[in-house]
Structure 1
């Protein structure tokens, strides 16, 4: 007689699915129409967040929002110009109007200026990269802190910096300078708002397969080859790989991490 126990899978309840990394959270994402921001929107929604996508281009935002919804996520979008204070505040307010709260924010939006030595940077380009890449995150953080404070109470913010901010950047001096300043704002905000339970961190991506890198390659042929040669992993990051780092920093699993600038660069700055 065979007394080997058997399991009747037809009556065994299935194990509950693990909760998503951002389950139950409302997330606001700038620069969400393409690249890392769009990848973050898809990922955050898959991880259980309700997401509000913000960027300047309506058509791109609509396409990503529809993609998120088609995959079963909850998403909406708002047109936002990071260089305009009223536009930034209105975009953050839209998140609380739609979802009743704000828990986390990923300040990813940025602009690009033509590469070249510092003395060849046009004043108009310098002013533009300042307005979008530095003033924009400052405006966003101020609005996001206020929204988190008055709704969720506690939360987290991640700013998208760059490994180009971590040392001299002769090819993109203005871009690197603004991103280094974002690192400083991140650290200052972490100290200021930590006592309230609001964490603030940054990520510093390395070579990532985005439109910005393709534009830079067109201006500086051979750039992609040089970047790969400097990266121990020997390849560009997929935008979702960068978004994964942001998602972790925004999640409760990084609850004791604040004020850090996390390199996500395939070892390029090791």
Structure 2
């Protein structure tokens, strides 16, 4: 059984590492996927991979900070398919990192906050209007940032603001059957840690008799702050997104999905 069979999904930031993995997973589980981003060529590369695997993908160039453009795209998708079932935002927040806050300009700190809140607000409300009409839908956002890590500029502030926005959206959209959740990841997920395959499973021959198993630090240089040996792979993040978008998560809203491998403890 495919978890997203006959669902219509929009993936904003569909050519990025997370967005493309989520788009492929949605298509694998039966969804028709609409990819958006600012560069058509990279979006088409992802779409071709989806089509080659037997999935259905469409591509549109959309700037998520342009509310009118986002609204037009959502309306076109909804008209084409008689609705929208899933909206996933994996767009980049234009972070400026590497400098202590005391040495940063206010504008540099606020840049990722403004981008994150604007993009999430635009894509979520545009999709929600069409979801409310049908009494169902799932809005998902890639988030992060409950660890205490220095020199990340406005990144943590941006993620905290997005979490607050998602809670507010969930409170207002819940009575209409629309769910809102955000995925918490420990920084950038590792797509190919030492000794692991793309989906995070150990490759044959890397952990057999007579072979040394890599240390936690060798598997993941940030493993010291994790409870598990490594951060999630992009495919593992995508699988969590599939679950969150599916009917298996029908009672989950205003919820953070913790994928931090124990870096954040709930």
TM-score normalised by the chain length of structure 1: 0.81
The 1:243–1:225 alpha-carbon spacing in structure 2 relative to 1, beyond 3 Å, is closer
Cα shift at 1:67? 0.9
Q: Which stretch has the larger CA shift, 67-76 or 110-119?
A: 110-119
The match for 2:260 among 256, 259, 265 is 265
1:105 aligns with 2:87: yes
Structure 2 residue runs of 5 or longer lacking an equivalent are 192-216
**Equivalent-residue separation in structure 1 for 2:152 and 2:66 (angstroms):** 24
Supply the RMSD in Å over aligned alpha carbons: 2.0
Preserved contact between residue 96 and residue 153 of structure 2 (Cα < 8 Å): no
Cα shift at 1:194? 0.7
The match for 1:209 among 190, 196, 215 is 190
**Equivalent-residue separation in structure 2 for 1:90 and 1:113 (angstroms):** 30
The 1:167–1:230 alpha-carbon spacing in structure 2 relative to 1, beyond 3 Å, is closer
The match for 2:25 among 36, 43, 49 is 43
**Equivalent-residue separation in structure 2 for 1:228 and 1:242 (angstroms):** 17
Preserved contact between residue 158 and residue 203 of structure 1 (Cα < 8 Å): yes
Q: Which stretch has the larger CA shift, 225-234 or 201-210?
A: 225-234
Cα shift at 1:138? 0.9
**Equivalent-residue separation in structure 1 for 2:138 and 2:105 (angstroms):** 36
Partner residue of 2:244? 249
**Equivalent-residue separation in structure 1 for 2:148 and 2:76 (angstroms):** 38
The 1:169–1:87 alpha-carbon spacing in structure 2 relative to 1, beyond 3 Å, is farther
Cα shift at 1:124? 4.6
The 1:94–1:128 alpha-carbon spacing in structure 2 relative to 1, beyond 3 Å, is farther
In terms of Rg, which structure is larger? 1
Partner residue of 2:117? 134
The match for 1:235 among 226, 230, 236 is 230
Cα shift at 1:130? 2.7
1:95 aligns with 2:77: yes
**Equivalent-residue separation in structure 2 for 1:174 and 1:91 (angstroms):** 29
Partner residue of 1:30? 12
**Equivalent-residue separation in structure 1 for 2:98 and 2:63 (angstroms):** 23
**Equivalent-residue separation in structure 2 for 1:75 and 1:209 (angstroms):** 25
> What does residue range 65-80 of structure 1 map to in structure 2 within 5 Å?
65-80=47-62
Structure 1 residue runs of 5 or longer lacking an equivalent are 1-17, 211-221
Cα shift at 1:31? 1.0
> Between Structure 1 and Structure 2, which shows a larger proportion of helix residues?
1
Cα shift at 1:38? 0.1
Q: Which stretch has the larger CA shift, 102-111 or 122-131?
A: 122-131
Preserved contact between residue 30 and residue 108 of structure 1 (Cα < 8 Å): yes
Aligned residues: 237
**Equivalent-residue separation in structure 2 for 1:264 and 1:68 (angstroms):** 25
Partner residue of 2:201? none
Cα shift at 1:81? 1.4
SS at match of 1:158: strand
